[in-house]
């Protein structure tokens, strides 16, 4: 049996104090020794852009209006790291050397750190900045209406009385598809003037926020009335090339929606358009033509233009001999007892498609006896065909006796 050696009490005390001393020494080495190097992270430090005001003087602007942040890892002794005041740490990017639009990778300057510490890592290491030109444009402002007016009325006209000047990044202004103000017309009973906030949108309907308008609020006129659908009257001017003629004018859409006060609306059956010049034309063509509504009438649904197709064909001649001359509009109780001519030669000239489709049996020659009493009269011989098709009628006149 092994006998343990008994340790004197004073040695036990010495050992205990020695162990405590070693423990305290190790603690200081890890937590408080000025000679031990440790790391510390500082995250989400705001990055300040300096000399940004100078960009405007150069007609430049940041393409993105957003905040930037920096993450830092600092290396140093625990003692020195404890001395750092987080509020004094800052990060800056200098925009002063930028003179033209473009994309720039700029150095980030970290400030507020004492010389006794070392920057171990920076994220991001540089800041990418996109700079664009500042431009200005004058734009029309459309008016969007919301709600339903009172008394079954509708908004027949809503327009801004002012243009606006828009200023901002070139890329942003190029994205503008429409510039509008919104008017609430719920329960509106009469025409009114509204003051509307101007906003810009891209082709997808997203609002563009980094542009400025002058003025930012516009005056808009709202007019109430009624609507109905009417036809479009075509018109041409000028003379086609020799040997050619306008055979048909087609309009798409053939009817348009109009709005007006009821008393004006009741007087309108059709809308005219600007005359199409066919001077020198020798083939069919199409073009967009503006409509010309009368005063107090407003075109709806953006239909201020129609697509017009003018069919142009070569001309041909065709002749018919008509064996009978009819009498029209003869007074009651009267008769034509004698007519010098009984047949005529009708010479026609026009579009080939029109004349080739013409049925001679439906062609008529006649004299008009309207308001004539008994007696002998020399009257012109007329045709039921469009005057533009009739080149000549032989004989041109005849003598009739009315009894």
pLDDT digits (tens, 9 = 90+) for 132-146: 999 999 999 999 999
DSSP string over 98-125: --SSEEEEEEPEEES--TTSEEEEEESS
Closest CA to 127 of 158, 155, 161, 103: 103
Tokens standing for 7?
């340790």
Question: Mean pLDDT across the stretch 2-15?
Answer: 55
Residue bearing tokens 């150095």 = 107
Tokens standing for 81?
């790291």
Does the predicted TM-score (pTM) go above 0.85? no
Q: Give the CATH class of 140-226.
A: mainly beta
Is pLDDT above 80 for 153?
Answer: yes
> Backbone phi, then psi, for 276, in 5-degree steps?
-95, 125
CATH number of 323-402: 2.170.120.30
Please list the residue range(s) of the chain that carry CATH number 2.170.120.30.
Answer: 37-134, 323-402
Closest CA to 272 of 233, 235, 229: 233
Q: How far is CA 186 from CA 57, 154, 200, in A?
A: 46, 11, 24
Q: What is the β-pairing status of strands 164-169 and 126-139?
A: antiparallel
What pLDDT score does 37 carry?
87
Question: Mean pLDDT across the stretch 112-130?
Answer: 92
Please list the residue range(s) of the chain that carry CATH number 2.170.120.40.
Answer: 140-226, 234-314
Query: Options 2.60.260.20, 3.40.190.10, 1.10.10.10, 2.170.120.30; which CATH number does 37-134 get?
Result: 2.170.120.30
Residue bearing tokens 């997203």 = 206
Q: How far apart are CA 399 and CA 66, in angstroms?
A: 95
Q: What is the pLDDT of residues 291-347, one digit of tens each?
A: 999 999 999 987 789 999 999 999 999 998 999 999 999 999 999 999 998 889 999
Q: How far apart are CA 381 and CA 347, in angstroms?
A: 13
What pLDDT score does 78 carry?
86
Helix (H, G, I), strand (E, B) or coil at 350: strand
> Backbone phi, then psi, for 384, in 5-degree steps?
-80, 5
What pLDDT score does 366 carry?
95
Q: Look up the CATH superfamily of 234-314.
A: YbbR-like domain (2.170.120.40)
What is the DSSP-derived secondary structure letter of residue 86? Answer: G
Tokens standing for 387?
């005057």
Helix (H, G, I), strand (E, B) or coil at 26: helix
H/E element holding 287?
strand 285-292
Closest CA to 251 of 268, 229, 273, 279: 273
> Backbone phi, then psi, for 224, in 5-degree steps?
-100, 155
Torsion (CA) 19, 23, 26, 28 in degrees, nearest 10? -130
Q: How far is CA 135 from CA 23, 60, 151, 162, 341, in A?
A: 71, 9, 46, 20, 81
Question: Mean pLDDT across the stretch 391-399?
Answer: 92
């Amino acid at each position: 049996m092994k006998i343990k050696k008994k340790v004197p009490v004073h040695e036990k005390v010495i050992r205990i104090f020695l162990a405590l001393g070693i423990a305290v020494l190790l603690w200081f080495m890890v937590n408080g020794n000025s000679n031990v190097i440790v790391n510390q992270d500082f995250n989400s430090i705001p990055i300040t852009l300096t000399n940004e005001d100078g960009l405007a003087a150069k007609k430049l602007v940041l393409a993105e209006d957003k905040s930037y942040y920096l993450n830092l890892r600092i290396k140093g002794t625990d003692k020195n790291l404890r001395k750092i005041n987080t509020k004094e740490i800052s990060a800056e990017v200098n925009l002063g050397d930028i003179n033209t639009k473009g994309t720039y990778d700029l150095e980030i300057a970290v400030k507020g750190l004492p010389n006794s510490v070392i920057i171990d890592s920076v994220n991001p290491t540089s800041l990418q900045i996109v700079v664009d030109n500042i431009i200005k444009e004058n734009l029309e402002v459309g008016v969007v209406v919301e709600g339903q007016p009172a008394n079954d009325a509708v908004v027949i006209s809503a327009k801004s009385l002012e243009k606006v000047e828009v200023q901002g990044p070139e890329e942003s202004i190029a994205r503008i598809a429409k510039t509008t103000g919104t008017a609430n017309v719920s329960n509106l009973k009469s025409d009114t003037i509204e003051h509307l906030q101007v906003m810009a949108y891209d082709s997808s309907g997203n609002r563009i926020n980094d542009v400025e308008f002058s003025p930012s609020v516009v005056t808009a006129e709202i007019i109430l009335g009624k609507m109905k659908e009417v036809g479009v009257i075509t018109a041409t001017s000028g003379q086609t090339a020799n040997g050619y003629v306008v055979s048909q004018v087609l309009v798409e859409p053939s009817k348009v929606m109009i709005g007006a006060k009821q008393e004006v609306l009741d007087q309108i059956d059709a809308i005219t358009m600007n005359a199409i010049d066919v001077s020198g034309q020798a083939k069919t063509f199409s073009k967009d033509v503006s409509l010309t509504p009368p005063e107090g009438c407003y075109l709806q649904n953006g239909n201020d233009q129609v697509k017009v197709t003018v069919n142009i064909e070569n001309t041909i001649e065709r002749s018919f001999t008509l064996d009978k001359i009819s009498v029209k509009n003869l007074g009651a109780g009267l008769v034509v007892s004698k007519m010098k001519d009984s047949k005529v030669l009708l010479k026609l000239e026009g579009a080939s498609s029109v004349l080739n489709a013409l049925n001679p049996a439906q062609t008529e020659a006649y004299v008009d006896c309207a308001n004539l009493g008994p007696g002998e009269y020399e009257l012109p011989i007329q045709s039921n065909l469009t005057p533009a098709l009739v080149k000549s009628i032989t004989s041109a006149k005849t003598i009739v006796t009315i009894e």
